[in-house]
């Protein structure tokens, strides 16, 4: 009789455990499938690529062009600032088409003065209001009044 009872106990408790495990496994698979990134894009070919460096003197060059119209080039060289400090001077540019198909081009220099980008698409500062310009001109023309304080 104990064999039958053991079998009976296993048959009543086992489906519940299997059912719970099945739900857990299904939930993990469902979440994994939903969270998995889908890459439907086609690979973009690299049409041209050249690179030189880094060289012993610290210089380097590279440029590339891709099949979707992206172009980039960069040149760098080491510049000695003083006896103990040096900096890499970088000049480069890149271009691409934005989401609307308009061309975007940026050129830049990076040196001891920081990163200095130039491009038509970059925001420009607002002009200084005329009243402030007049005040600055007045202050520059009358420095003695400023020193009297």
For the chain, give the longest Cα–Cα distance. 115
Q: Could you list the mean pLDDT of each consecutive 10-residue stretch along the chain, which spans 149 residues?
A: 48 55 70 70 92 93 96 95 90 94 94 92 88 92 70
Asked if residue 132 belongs to a domain, the reply is: yes
- Residue 145, pLDDT score: 66
Asked if residue 53 belongs to a domain, the reply is: yes
Asked if residue 126 belongs to a domain, the reply is: yes
Asked if residue 20 belongs to a domain, the reply is: no
Whether 116 and 92 have beta carbons less than 8 Å apart is answered as: no
Asked if residue 23 belongs to a domain, the reply is: no
Torsional sign, CA 25, 29, 34, 35: positive
Write out the DSSP string of 9-66. Answer: HHHHHHHHHHHHHHHHHHHHHHHHHHHS----PPPPPEEEEEEE---TTS-EEEEEEE
Q: How far apart are CA 77 and CA 88, in angstroms?
A: 5
- Residue 19, pLDDT score: 62
Asked if residue 63 belongs to a domain, the reply is: yes
Bond preceding residue 54 cis, omega within 30 of 0:
yes
Evaluate if pTM is beyond 0.75. no
Parallel, antiparallel or unpaired: strands 86-97 and 46-52 = unpaired
Find the domain containing 94 and state its range.
Answer: 46-136
Q: How many domains does the chain have?
A: 1
User: What is the number of other CB atoms lying within 10 angstroms of the CB of residue 133?
Assistant: 11
Asked if residue 79 belongs to a domain, the reply is: yes
Whether 63 and 48 have beta carbons less than 8 Å apart is answered as: yes
Asked if residue 8 belongs to a domain, the reply is: no
């Amino acid at each position: 009789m104990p064999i039958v009872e053991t079998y009976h106990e296993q048959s009543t408790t086992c489906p519940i455990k299997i059912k719970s495990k099945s739900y857990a496994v299904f939930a993990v698979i469902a979440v994994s499938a939903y969270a998995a990134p889908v890459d439907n894009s086609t690979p973009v070919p690299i049409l041209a690529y050249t690179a030189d460096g880094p060289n012993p003197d610290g210089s380097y060059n590279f440029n590339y062009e891709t099949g979707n119209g992206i172009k980039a080039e960069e040149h760098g060289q080491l510049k000695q600032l003083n006896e103990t400090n040096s900096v890499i001077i970088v000049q480069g540019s890149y271009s691409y088409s934005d989401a609307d198909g308009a061309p975007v081009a940026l050129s830049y220099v990076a040196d001891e003065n920081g990163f200095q980008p130039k491009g038509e698409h970059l925001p420009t500062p607002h002009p200084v209001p005329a009243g402030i310009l007049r005040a600055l001109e007045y202050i520059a023309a009358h420095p003695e009044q400023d020193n009297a304080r």
